[in-house]
Amino acid sequence: MKKILKWIGIVLGSLIGLLLVAVAALYLMGKARMEKVYDFPPSGIVVPTDEASIARGKHIVETTCIGCHDADLGGKTPFIAVDGIMALDSVNLTSGEGGIGGEFSDEDFVRAIRHGINREGKPIFMPAVKAFAHMSDEDLAAVIAYLRTAPPVDRATKELQVEPMGFVIFSLGVFGNMPVEDATHENNVTAPAPGVTVEYGEYRLTLSDCHGCHYPDLAGGKYGDPTFDIIVPNLTPGGDLANWTVEGFIQTMRTGVTPEGRGLNSNVMPLDEINNLTDDELTAIWLYLQSLPALPQRTGTE
Protein backbone atom coordinates (compact mmCIF):
# COMPACT_ATOMS: atom_id res chain seq x y z
CA MET A 1 0.00 0.00 0.00
CA LYS A 2 2.73 2.40 1.06
CA LYS A 3 4.62 1.66 -2.14
CA ILE A 4 1.59 2.51 -4.28
CA LEU A 5 1.10 5.80 -2.44
CA LYS A 6 4.77 6.60 -2.96
CA TRP A 7 4.45 5.94 -6.70
CA ILE A 8 1.29 8.00 -6.96
CA GLY A 9 3.19 10.81 -5.21
CA ILE A 10 6.10 10.57 -7.64
CA VAL A 11 3.83 10.55 -10.69
CA LEU A 12 1.74 13.49 -9.43
CA GLY A 13 4.86 15.40 -8.46
CA SER A 14 6.38 14.88 -11.91
CA LEU A 15 3.16 15.94 -13.62
CA ILE A 16 2.99 19.13 -11.57
CA GLY A 17 6.66 19.73 -12.31
CA LEU A 18 6.07 19.28 -16.05
CA LEU A 19 3.07 21.58 -15.92
CA LEU A 20 5.11 24.29 -14.21
CA VAL A 21 7.84 23.94 -16.85
CA ALA A 22 5.20 24.22 -19.60
CA VAL A 23 3.64 27.31 -18.01
CA ALA A 24 7.07 28.89 -17.59
CA ALA A 25 7.87 28.19 -21.25
CA LEU A 26 4.56 29.71 -22.39
CA TYR A 27 5.25 32.75 -20.20
CA LEU A 28 8.71 33.27 -21.69
CA MET A 29 7.50 32.75 -25.26
CA GLY A 30 4.62 35.19 -24.79
CA LYS A 31 6.82 37.81 -23.18
CA ALA A 32 9.40 37.50 -25.97
CA ARG A 33 6.74 37.98 -28.66
CA MET A 34 4.94 40.82 -26.92
CA GLU A 35 8.15 42.70 -26.15
CA LYS A 36 10.12 41.98 -29.32
CA VAL A 37 11.74 45.07 -30.85
CA TYR A 38 10.92 45.71 -34.53
CA ASP A 39 12.32 48.15 -37.04
CA PHE A 40 10.81 49.20 -40.38
CA PRO A 41 12.13 51.63 -43.00
CA PRO A 42 10.72 55.17 -42.55
CA SER A 43 7.78 56.01 -44.81
CA GLY A 44 8.99 59.42 -45.94
CA ILE A 45 5.37 60.58 -45.68
CA VAL A 46 5.09 64.37 -45.84
CA VAL A 47 2.24 65.72 -43.71
CA PRO A 48 0.28 68.51 -45.40
CA THR A 49 -1.15 71.60 -43.68
CA ASP A 50 -3.83 72.69 -46.17
CA GLU A 51 -7.50 72.89 -45.16
CA ALA A 52 -8.70 70.20 -47.59
CA SER A 53 -6.23 67.58 -46.29
CA ILE A 54 -7.07 68.38 -42.66
CA ALA A 55 -10.79 68.03 -43.44
CA ARG A 56 -10.12 64.69 -45.15
CA GLY A 57 -8.10 63.55 -42.10
CA LYS A 58 -10.90 64.60 -39.74
CA HIS A 59 -13.40 62.53 -41.73
CA ILE A 60 -11.17 59.43 -41.66
CA VAL A 61 -10.56 59.84 -37.92
CA GLU A 62 -14.28 60.27 -37.24
CA THR A 63 -15.11 57.16 -39.26
CA THR A 64 -12.17 55.01 -38.11
CA CYS A 65 -10.60 56.00 -34.77
CA ILE A 66 -13.21 57.44 -32.41
CA GLY A 67 -14.85 54.11 -31.57
CA CYS A 68 -11.74 53.11 -29.63
CA HIS A 69 -10.04 56.45 -28.82
CA ASP A 70 -13.31 58.16 -27.79
CA ALA A 71 -15.17 60.95 -29.55
CA ASP A 72 -12.78 63.60 -28.16
CA LEU A 73 -9.72 61.41 -29.05
CA GLY A 74 -8.60 61.62 -25.41
CA GLY A 75 -8.47 57.81 -25.09
CA LYS A 76 -10.44 55.30 -23.01
CA THR A 77 -9.10 54.23 -19.65
CA PRO A 78 -9.49 51.33 -19.42
CA PHE A 79 -10.15 50.20 -22.98
CA ILE A 80 -9.97 46.56 -21.89
CA ALA A 81 -9.12 45.34 -18.39
CA VAL A 82 -9.20 41.75 -17.21
CA ASP A 83 -8.03 41.24 -13.60
CA GLY A 84 -4.86 39.20 -13.33
CA ILE A 85 -4.39 39.17 -17.13
CA MET A 86 -3.96 42.67 -18.54
CA ALA A 87 -5.04 46.28 -18.53
CA LEU A 88 -5.10 48.19 -21.81
CA ASP A 89 -5.94 51.88 -22.26
CA SER A 90 -6.44 53.44 -25.68
CA VAL A 91 -4.03 56.33 -25.95
CA ASN A 92 -4.86 60.05 -25.74
CA LEU A 93 -4.06 61.12 -29.33
CA THR A 94 -4.33 64.88 -28.73
CA SER A 95 -1.64 67.35 -27.74
CA GLY A 96 -3.29 67.94 -24.35
CA GLU A 97 -1.73 66.86 -21.04
CA GLY A 98 -1.22 63.08 -21.05
CA GLY A 99 -1.59 62.97 -24.84
CA ILE A 100 0.99 61.88 -27.42
CA GLY A 101 0.08 64.54 -30.01
CA GLY A 102 2.74 66.97 -28.83
CA GLU A 103 5.46 64.33 -28.51
CA PHE A 104 5.08 62.06 -31.53
CA SER A 105 6.96 62.82 -34.74
CA ASP A 106 5.17 62.10 -38.04
CA GLU A 107 7.13 58.84 -38.38
CA ASP A 108 6.19 57.86 -34.80
CA PHE A 109 2.54 58.11 -35.88
CA VAL A 110 3.25 56.06 -39.00
CA ARG A 111 5.03 53.38 -36.95
CA ALA A 112 1.99 53.06 -34.66
CA ILE A 113 -0.77 53.19 -37.28
CA ARG A 114 0.86 51.35 -40.23
CA HIS A 115 3.16 48.96 -38.38
CA GLY A 116 1.73 48.54 -34.88
CA ILE A 117 4.83 49.45 -32.90
CA ASN A 118 5.57 52.15 -30.36
CA ARG A 119 8.50 54.56 -30.25
CA GLU A 120 10.74 51.86 -28.75
CA GLY A 121 9.82 49.53 -31.62
CA LYS A 122 7.75 47.25 -29.37
CA PRO A 123 4.34 45.89 -30.47
CA ILE A 124 1.22 47.82 -29.48
CA PHE A 125 -2.12 46.16 -28.88
CA MET A 126 -4.13 48.20 -31.39
CA PRO A 127 -6.35 45.60 -33.09
CA ALA A 128 -7.02 47.58 -36.30
CA VAL A 129 -3.38 47.82 -37.45
CA LYS A 130 -3.81 44.96 -39.91
CA ALA A 131 -6.51 47.07 -41.62
CA PHE A 132 -4.65 50.38 -41.32
CA ALA A 133 -1.64 48.87 -43.10
CA HIS A 134 -3.76 49.36 -46.25
CA MET A 135 -4.35 53.08 -45.60
CA SER A 136 -2.80 55.07 -48.45
CA ASP A 137 0.13 57.41 -47.80
CA GLU A 138 -2.16 60.30 -48.71
CA ASP A 139 -4.88 59.31 -46.24
CA LEU A 140 -2.39 58.50 -43.48
CA ALA A 141 -0.75 61.90 -43.97
CA ALA A 142 -4.20 63.55 -43.78
CA VAL A 143 -4.97 61.68 -40.54
CA ILE A 144 -1.72 62.91 -38.96
CA ALA A 145 -2.42 66.43 -40.24
CA TYR A 146 -5.81 66.40 -38.52
CA LEU A 147 -4.49 64.89 -35.26
CA ARG A 148 -2.01 67.78 -35.06
CA THR A 149 -4.91 70.27 -35.12
CA ALA A 150 -7.46 68.29 -33.03
CA PRO A 151 -8.61 70.11 -29.86
CA PRO A 152 -6.27 69.18 -26.97
CA VAL A 153 -7.76 66.98 -24.24
CA ASP A 154 -6.12 66.59 -20.82
CA ARG A 155 -6.44 62.92 -19.86
CA ALA A 156 -3.77 60.58 -18.53
CA THR A 157 -3.81 57.07 -19.97
CA LYS A 158 -1.65 54.22 -18.76
CA GLU A 159 0.80 52.04 -20.66
CA LEU A 160 -0.20 48.47 -21.45
CA GLN A 161 0.09 46.30 -18.31
CA VAL A 162 0.44 42.57 -18.88
CA GLU A 163 0.45 40.23 -15.85
CA PRO A 164 2.45 36.96 -16.00
CA MET A 165 -0.75 34.99 -16.70
CA GLY A 166 -1.44 37.40 -19.59
CA PHE A 167 1.77 36.32 -21.33
CA VAL A 168 0.84 32.65 -20.81
CA ILE A 169 -2.66 33.14 -22.23
CA PHE A 170 -1.26 35.10 -25.18
CA SER A 171 1.04 32.17 -26.00
CA LEU A 172 -1.99 29.89 -25.98
CA GLY A 173 -3.43 32.04 -28.78
CA VAL A 174 -6.39 33.47 -26.86
CA PHE A 175 -5.75 37.06 -28.01
CA GLY A 176 -4.72 36.07 -31.55
CA ASN A 177 -1.45 37.54 -32.85
CA MET A 178 0.12 40.86 -32.00
CA PRO A 179 -1.11 43.27 -34.71
CA VAL A 180 2.49 43.89 -35.87
CA GLU A 181 2.71 40.18 -36.75
CA ASP A 182 -0.27 40.42 -39.12
CA ALA A 183 0.35 43.74 -40.90
CA THR A 184 1.83 43.95 -44.42
CA HIS A 185 4.49 46.61 -43.59
CA GLU A 186 4.60 48.19 -47.03
CA ASN A 187 5.42 51.81 -47.77
CA ASN A 188 4.15 53.87 -50.73
CA VAL A 189 0.59 52.60 -50.32
CA THR A 190 -1.96 53.94 -52.82
CA ALA A 191 -5.78 53.86 -52.85
CA PRO A 192 -8.43 53.93 -55.59
CA ALA A 193 -9.94 57.39 -56.20
CA PRO A 194 -12.86 58.13 -53.85
CA GLY A 195 -16.14 57.40 -55.66
CA VAL A 196 -19.20 55.19 -55.74
CA THR A 197 -17.27 52.20 -57.06
CA VAL A 198 -16.69 48.61 -56.02
CA GLU A 199 -12.94 49.34 -55.71
CA TYR A 200 -13.37 52.32 -53.41
CA GLY A 201 -15.99 50.39 -51.42
CA GLU A 202 -13.46 47.62 -50.79
CA TYR A 203 -10.85 50.15 -49.67
CA ARG A 204 -13.25 52.00 -47.37
CA LEU A 205 -14.58 48.76 -45.87
CA THR A 206 -11.01 47.62 -45.23
CA LEU A 207 -10.15 50.86 -43.36
CA SER A 208 -13.25 50.38 -41.18
CA ASP A 209 -11.89 46.93 -40.33
CA CYS A 210 -15.19 45.20 -41.07
CA HIS A 211 -12.99 42.13 -41.74
CA GLY A 212 -11.74 42.22 -38.15
CA CYS A 213 -15.13 41.01 -36.88
CA HIS A 214 -16.93 39.73 -40.00
CA TYR A 215 -13.89 37.58 -41.00
CA PRO A 216 -11.54 38.06 -43.99
CA ASP A 217 -14.06 36.59 -46.47
CA LEU A 218 -16.92 38.56 -44.77
CA ALA A 219 -18.95 35.36 -44.26
CA GLY A 220 -19.04 36.08 -40.49
CA GLY A 221 -18.37 33.57 -37.74
CA LYS A 222 -17.90 33.33 -34.00
CA TYR A 223 -17.03 36.74 -32.49
CA GLY A 224 -13.33 36.97 -31.63
CA ASP A 225 -13.81 38.11 -28.02
CA PRO A 226 -14.66 34.89 -26.15
CA THR A 227 -16.46 36.83 -23.36
CA PHE A 228 -19.28 37.52 -25.87
CA ASP A 229 -21.38 34.65 -27.20
CA ILE A 230 -22.18 36.11 -30.61
CA ILE A 231 -22.20 34.82 -34.16
CA VAL A 232 -21.16 37.75 -36.36
CA PRO A 233 -23.45 37.85 -39.42
CA ASN A 234 -22.54 37.01 -43.00
CA LEU A 235 -22.22 40.17 -45.16
CA THR A 236 -21.91 38.33 -48.50
CA PRO A 237 -25.00 37.76 -50.70
CA GLY A 238 -25.23 34.37 -48.95
CA GLY A 239 -26.68 36.12 -45.86
CA ASP A 240 -29.55 38.50 -45.02
CA LEU A 241 -28.07 41.17 -47.29
CA ALA A 242 -29.19 39.16 -50.33
CA ASN A 243 -32.70 40.46 -49.65
CA TRP A 244 -31.76 44.07 -48.79
CA THR A 245 -31.68 47.16 -50.99
CA VAL A 246 -28.97 49.82 -50.83
CA GLU A 247 -31.46 52.05 -48.96
CA GLY A 248 -32.07 49.28 -46.42
CA PHE A 249 -28.33 48.84 -45.94
CA ILE A 250 -27.70 52.58 -45.41
CA GLN A 251 -30.64 52.80 -43.03
CA THR A 252 -29.28 49.84 -41.03
CA MET A 253 -25.87 51.51 -40.72
CA ARG A 254 -27.48 54.80 -39.65
CA THR A 255 -30.13 53.52 -37.23
CA GLY A 256 -28.76 50.16 -36.07
CA VAL A 257 -32.04 48.46 -37.05
CA THR A 258 -32.05 45.99 -39.95
CA PRO A 259 -34.80 45.81 -42.64
CA GLU A 260 -36.04 42.72 -40.76
CA GLY A 261 -36.54 44.98 -37.72
CA ARG A 262 -33.66 43.50 -35.72
CA GLY A 263 -31.74 45.96 -33.49
CA LEU A 264 -27.96 45.55 -33.68
CA ASN A 265 -25.87 45.47 -30.50
CA SER A 266 -23.96 48.74 -30.73
CA ASN A 267 -21.53 47.60 -28.03
CA VAL A 268 -19.94 45.41 -30.67
CA MET A 269 -20.92 47.01 -34.02
CA PRO A 270 -19.05 50.37 -34.12
CA LEU A 271 -22.15 52.26 -35.30
CA ASP A 272 -21.00 55.64 -33.95
CA GLU A 273 -18.11 55.55 -36.46
CA ILE A 274 -20.00 53.90 -39.30
CA ASN A 275 -22.75 56.50 -38.96
CA ASN A 276 -20.20 59.18 -39.94
CA LEU A 277 -19.59 57.55 -43.35
CA THR A 278 -21.24 59.49 -46.17
CA ASP A 279 -24.07 58.03 -48.25
CA ASP A 280 -21.59 57.73 -51.16
CA GLU A 281 -19.11 55.77 -49.01
CA LEU A 282 -21.84 53.46 -47.70
CA THR A 283 -23.14 52.95 -51.25
CA ALA A 284 -19.62 52.05 -52.41
CA ILE A 285 -19.34 49.56 -49.51
CA TRP A 286 -22.71 48.13 -50.49
CA LEU A 287 -21.59 47.72 -54.13
CA TYR A 288 -18.48 45.88 -52.95
CA LEU A 289 -20.48 43.58 -50.64
CA GLN A 290 -22.88 42.77 -53.48
CA SER A 291 -19.94 41.92 -55.76
CA LEU A 292 -18.74 39.16 -53.41
CA PRO A 293 -19.43 35.47 -53.99
CA ALA A 294 -22.42 34.23 -51.95
CA LEU A 295 -20.89 32.24 -49.09
CA PRO A 296 -22.74 30.31 -46.39
CA GLN A 297 -22.80 31.80 -42.86
CA ARG A 298 -19.78 30.63 -40.86
CA THR A 299 -20.77 29.59 -37.34
CA GLY A 300 -17.40 28.69 -35.83
CA THR A 301 -13.97 30.23 -36.24
CA GLU A 302 -12.54 28.09 -39.06
Name the residues that contact ligand HEC, by CB under 6 A.
61, 64-65, 67-69, 79, 88, 90-91, 93, 100, 109, 112-113, 118-119, 124-128, 132, 143, 160, 205, 208-210, 212-214, 223, 230, 232-233, 235, 239-240, 252, 258, 262, 264-265, 268-270, 274, 285
Give Cα separations from 302 to 219, 237, 299 (angstroms).
11, 20, 9
Q: Which is nearer to ligand HEC, 43 or 90 (CB)?
A: 90
Q: How far apart are CA 109 and CA 119, in angstroms?
A: 9
Residue whose C-alpha is closest to residue 282's, from 233, 257, 238, 245? 245
Give residues with Cβ within 8 angstroms of 140, minimum separation 6.
43, 45, 109, 110, 113, 114, 132, 189
Q: Please name the amino acid found at residue 99.
A: G
User: Smallest distance from the beta carbon of 89 to ligand HEC, in angstroms?
Assistant: 6
User: Smallest distance from the beta carbon of 133 to ligand HEC, in angstroms?
Assistant: 11
Q: Which is nearer to ligand HEC, 29 or 158 (CB)?
A: 158
CB-side neighbour CA atoms (13 Å) of 135: 31
User: Smallest distance from the beta carbon of 251 to ligand HEC, in angstroms?
Assistant: 11
Q: Which is nearer to ligand HEC, 4 or 263 (CB)?
A: 263
Residue 36's CB is within 10 A of a number of other CB atoms, namely 14
Q: Which is nearer to ligand HEC, 168 or 281 (CB)?
A: 281
Q: Which is nearer to ligand HEC, 118 or 290 (CB)?
A: 118
User: Smallest distance from the beta carbon of 154 to ligand HEC, in angstroms?
Assistant: 17
Q: How far apart are CA 242 and CA 236, in angstroms?
A: 8
